[in-house]
Amino acid sequence: MHIPFIVKQLGPLRCYSTRSIERVIGVFSKLIKSKCKGCCNASFLVERFTLHNYINTAISIQNEIDLIQPKPYGRESYMDLPNDFSGAQLWEPFHRFAHLNDDLVEGVSSPSVKDALTRYYQRTSGLMISNIGDFTIVVAGRLWMNSTMYSSCIYQQRRNERSRGNHYVMFTCLYRNNRNIIVYSWLVGVVIFFFQHEYSLGSLHFLAFVEVMKEHDAAAHDSSVPIVKQQSQNSSTGRQTQPTYAVISVNDICHQVGLIQYPPNGNQFYIISSYYVFNNNMRITKGNLSIL
């Protein structure tokens, strides 16, 4: 009586063929090589095939392979600046709704970011600025410009990178000297993050938030070799001074650079560039923190 009941509940019984069993017996008989304890050999083979088939059904091998493949890039992976022909692009990872009124902006205090942004617009316009525009920015981890990919600290943190130093940049800064003449000076900094900011309606800017080296100079033996001091100490307390932050335009970045430790002083570094040779007198055009 139970079989008709099962048929009513679950539908017609499935029909099985012994042909598949006969084929499997043929496969296993060819794999059994043991001269003694053939039953153990057959048992191991059955167990191995069972585990293999279970893994194939439980896990998508293609999906697992996709996890270790490079992530494909599309149009949503980068941002272009409208009406800008320099070709600069901001690349993911993005944080599209970072707000300058939050306590922290990518690990940096919000007042420090707003102060650096205000000083940037004052420096570039020559006017006193009280309103820096939109307080919502789009933070980006990388910059593509002039066939070079520039990284940042937030990108390294998210990718857990420790061996690369492609977040060090040399940039130019223009200011008016004592003779009221516009002068360009070079500075070196660490890019914390890149971001897009709207200063006024429709006026978008690609900017970089950098921590600037404390001192800039040239080597004593060769004035074409730039040297920087990464940290400085307070003369009265002996403690390290607070970091100096600045906002710069991505178009002010001139070189991606590396740091080589200066032997007499562990806090000083030679500056090198992979695709550029410094031939000019770097001491003449060196900058200082006061121009920022």
Confidence band for 43, pLDDT divided at 50, 70 and 90: confident
Give residue 99's Cα distance to chain centre.
20
Q: What is the distance between the alpha carbons of residues 172 and 137, in angstroms, rounded to a whole number?
A: 24
Contacts of 79 (CB under 8 A, 6+ apart): 89, 90, 91, 94, 138, 140, 196
Over residues 206-259, the pLDDT tens digits come to: 999 999 999 999 988 899 999 999 887 665 666 777 899 999 999 999 999 999
Coil, helix or strand at residue 222:
coil
This model's pTM is above 0.85? no
Over residues 66-97, the pLDDT tens digits come to: 655 666 777 778 888 877 766 789 988 888 78
What is the average pLDDT across 92-120?
88
Q: What is the distance between the alpha carbons of residues 267 and 64, in angstroms, rounded to a whole number?
A: 45
Q: What is the distance between the alpha carbons of residues 177 and 96, in angstroms, rounded to a whole number?
A: 38
Q: Under a CB-based contact definition with an 8 Å cutoff, are residues 165 and 259 in contact?
A: yes
DSSP state, residue 70: P
Nearest to 262 by CA among 212, 211, 218, 214: 218
Domain-wise residue ranges, the chain: 15-68, 75-291
Q: Under a CB-based contact definition with an 8 Å cutoff, are residues 110 and 103 in contact?
A: yes
